[in-house]
Every structure is written in structure tokens, then in C-alpha cells.
Amino acid sequence: MAASPGVVRPISGRITNEAFYRAVVAAGKAPSAYNTQPWRWRVSNGVLDLFADHARMVDLGEPDRRLATIGCGAALHHARLTLAARGWRVTVTRRPDDADPDHLARLHIDGAAPVSPDTADLARAIALRHTDPRPVTGDPIEPEDLDTIRAAFEAQHVRLGVLRPDQVLGLTVATGRADNTEPVDAQWHAELALWTGGDRIAGAADGLPLPIAHGEHDRAATFAVLHGPRDQDLDWLHAGEALSAGSLVATGMGVSVLPFSAPIEHAGARELLRRAIPEFGCPYLMLRLGRHATATAAPRSTRLTAAETMKRPGQDAAVPGPAES
């Protein structure tokens, strides 16, 4: 059941639970590193709580909590957008419990609110968005479209720094020059080479791969970094919310957003990025934006069901399914 704006009456537990259930189902479609969906939801006493589930990342040897927290931020934005699109005014408290760093957010429904067409459109994009790692070869993103997409990212308390072509080249060279003790740094270099066009990294000078020629990828892709002045879990949560908001607006405009975690996964790689582009402050996530020449979508990844991301009865209250309507 959707909310009725203007009607002031207590919201029943059944209606709240149904709204939360739909929010959790939508959140299951959020992007997450390695598709781990590192979040847990819990409904109790009329609030919806979001927890990071770092156990899902353990096998990946994630050195710190940032990737999981960014994924949780994306799930949080999907959930609050879904509630807004169903006509609910929601208060979100981030990091509500100092004693529990995994408790990332608490959502409370305050009442009914009108739904703007933009909010409804954005919520519809949840079902359409997906990560498409294919090279982008379509038309470049027009400056005014890029401005709109950037505004969507930046409305979530982070900055989107768009890389100039010389900065992309600088990064490519810097990663090739770095002492790649971390396998992920070497992987970053390989990915960056692919991004900038596989044919561009060829030959070697002093044993270093160097960019050579401008290929199709350069003109089609826009590279950007989500960044901000601090590097704490609240910032990563905002970065995830921004990833969701920006990607959904981009989806509506036919633009694909590919997150790229290697440059921020390890301290060495982050430092390299920070040194290569000092004006970006603390980098949270690197992104490739672009249009695909063909509309054929890449195959979708397998996601967990909403039930699999909910706390089980006995552990905490599970979110009940929606009532028949």
C-alpha cells in the first residue's frame, strides 16, 4: 500500500512493515563490490536498521571496511528512494549507535508526503540499472548531461571529480611506474590500460608500459573519482549513497556507470591516486561513465534475495512480506 499525502493518522505496524519490506527488496538491487551485498536489515519497533555484514567480504581479504560500507550506502539510498517514491517521508539517522560501528543507519517513517515525478522516475531506474563492464564506444556524454549526473552524485555530500585526459594518462603512467607489491595495484594498471584502450599500453621505456595512441575508448569514456575531505566510515556511506543516486540518474539518461575499486582498495593504490591528483583529497571510488554503442545489456549478476539479507527470526525480527493488496 502506498501513502496518502495529507492524511494525518497513526501509521499501523502492518503498513510500516510492508513499506520497509518493499524498501529492502529494492535495496537488494543496489551495486556492491564483488556482488557481495554486505548488508543486513532489521525491523524492530517501527524502525528499519541497516547493518554492515563484513563477514560477506572476509574471503576477499578486504583490508578495511570501506568497500562494504560503500555498498551499504548504495543499499541505503535505494531503500530511502523506494520509500519516498511510495509516498513516505522518512528520517534517516546515520551511525545511530556509537557503540556499534556496523550499525550504519536507522530509517523511521514520519508520515505521508507527495511524490514528485522525478522521484518516481528515479525509483523506476532501480530495476533498469546494472553494472556493464563492456568497453564504452558510444557517443561521449554531453557536458550538460554530465552536469546533471554530477549534481546527482554531489547532492549526497561527496564531490565528483572528472579527470581531464592528461590526468588519466598521468595515472596510467604512475601505476605502471609504481612498485606493484600489491597484486591489486598490478590489476589496477591492467584495468586502467583497458579503460584507456587496450591498444594504448604498448611497448616499454625503461621497462615501463607507456600510453601511445588515442583510441576509441578515450573519446567515449569519462573517468571520475568520488572524493571528499575526510576518510571515515560516514564518508564511505555517503559515497555509496552518491553511487546509487548518480548511477540511477545516469541510467535514466542512457549512461552507464562502472565503479572501479582497485584504485581505492589498498593504501598504496589510494596514495598513488592521491599523489597523482592531489586536488581530489580523499578518493572513495573511481568511476567510468559512458554510453554503450549497442543497447544489448551485459548479463545480470546473481543477487541475494531480500530474505537472505534480513536477520533471521530468533536472531532479530525479520521483515514480514507485504500484505495482499
Ligand X SMILES: Cc1cc2nc3c(=O)[nH]c(=O)nc-3n(C[C@H](O)[C@H](O)[C@H](O)COP(=O)(O)O)c2cc1C
Interface residues with ligand X (CB under 6 A) are: 31-33, 35, 67, 70-71, 74, 130-131, 133, 243, 258-262, 285, 300-301
CB of 245 to ligand X, least distance (A): 13
At 300, list the grid cell. Answer: 545480470
Please state the φ and ψ torsions of residue 151, each to the nearest 5 degrees. -60, -35
Which residue lies nearer to ligand X by CB, 67 or 109? 67
Which residue lies nearer to ligand X by CB, 114 or 133? 133
CB of 187 to ligand X, least distance (A): 9
Q: How far apart are CA 239 and CA 66, in angstroms?
A: 10
Which residue lies nearer to ligand X by CB, 74 or 250? 74
DSSP 205: E
CB of 155 to ligand X, least distance (A): 18
At 312, list the grid cell. Answer: 533471521
Taking the chain, what is the end-to-end CA distance rounded to the nearest angstrom? Answer: 7
Burial (CB count within 10 angstroms: exposed 0-12, middle 13-18, buried 19+), residue 8: exposed
DSSP 321: P
Q: How far apart are CA 161 and CA 210, in angstroms?
A: 24
CB of 188 to ligand X, least distance (A): 9
Q: Which residue is nearest to ligand X (CB)?
A: 31
Q: How far apart are CA 108 and CA 283, in angstroms?
A: 31
Which residue lies nearer to ligand X by CB, 17 or 291? 291
Residue indicated by cell numbers 536472531: 315
Which residue lies nearer to ligand X by CB, 47 or 253? 253
CB of 59 to ligand X, least distance (A): 15
